[in-house]
Every structure is written in C-alpha cells, then in structure tokens.
Amino acid sequence: MSYILLHHSGCSTSRKGLALLQENGIEPQVRKYMNASEQLSLDEVKEIARKLGAASPRAFLRDKNAADVGIDANSTDDEIFVAMAANPKIIQRPILIKGRKAVLGRPIEAMLDLT
C-alpha cells in the first residue's frame, strides 16, 4: 500500500519528515497541499480527520496561523474544516496517510508508527 505525504516544502519540519521517511526506505507520493493545484477539498480535510482518529479538526489545526483567518476558541468544528479547506496554511504538517489511517508528524518520528 502506498503512502501520501501532505507536505509543505517551506516548512522545515515537513522537509525533515520527508527526509526521515526516505532514510527509512519510504518514498511517499508527495502532495504539496499549499499549492492551489493540489489544495485539499472540504471532503478531503474531513476524511483526513477521520483517518487521524481526530474527534475535532483542532487536533491538526496550526494554532499560530488560525487567528489570521478568523479561527478562535469559539469557532465550531464545521467553521474550522471550511477554513482549513480555504486556507491550507492552518493545517499542521506533515501528515502521512496510508490507506484508512493517517498520522501527524509532530514529532516527525511519529510517522514511522504508520509504516
């Protein structure tokens, strides 16, 4: 089964995560979800939450960018999902997906648990 890595090349953690996977013999399909042509749809963001086993999108919300797009402590899960699809910079990275499971690479070594 193949791996998909939600990756942002401008993020040092994401770059280190990709390197770690490659060092361990894993060549994932890299999805540069920050690029408009590869941006995630609302359904895809919700599916990632399910694969992560997350009860809320807050589990993979990039807090330091959330306020920039109007997300705060009072925002609903639906509002966060919509904001994530419209503003991919508020999604934590990297995220490794394999089949019906996914893991947030924070710390990056957590991705090896999915291999």
- The answer to whether 107 and 16 are in contact (CB under 8 A) is no
69: tokens are: 């797009």
Q: Is 84 a catalytic residue?
A: no
Query: If you average pLDDT over residues 17-43, what whole number do you get?
Result: 96
Average confidence score pLDDT of the chain: 95
- Contact yes or no for 7/105 (Cβ under 8 A): no
pLDDT at 106: 93
Contact, 61 vs 90, CB < 8 A? yes
pLDDT value for 115: 75
Q: Residue 75 and residue 87: Cα distance in Å, rounded?
A: 15
The catalytic position among 3, 4, 11, 79 is 11
Pairing of strands 29-31, 3-6: parallel
Confidence of residue 53 (pLDDT cuts 50, 70, 90): very high
Give strand ranges (E) for the chain. 3-6, 29-31, 95-98, 101-104
Of 53, 31, 40, 16, the closest CA to residue 91 belongs to 40
Give the residue-averaged pLDDT of 64-91: 95
pLDDT at 1 > cutoff 90: no
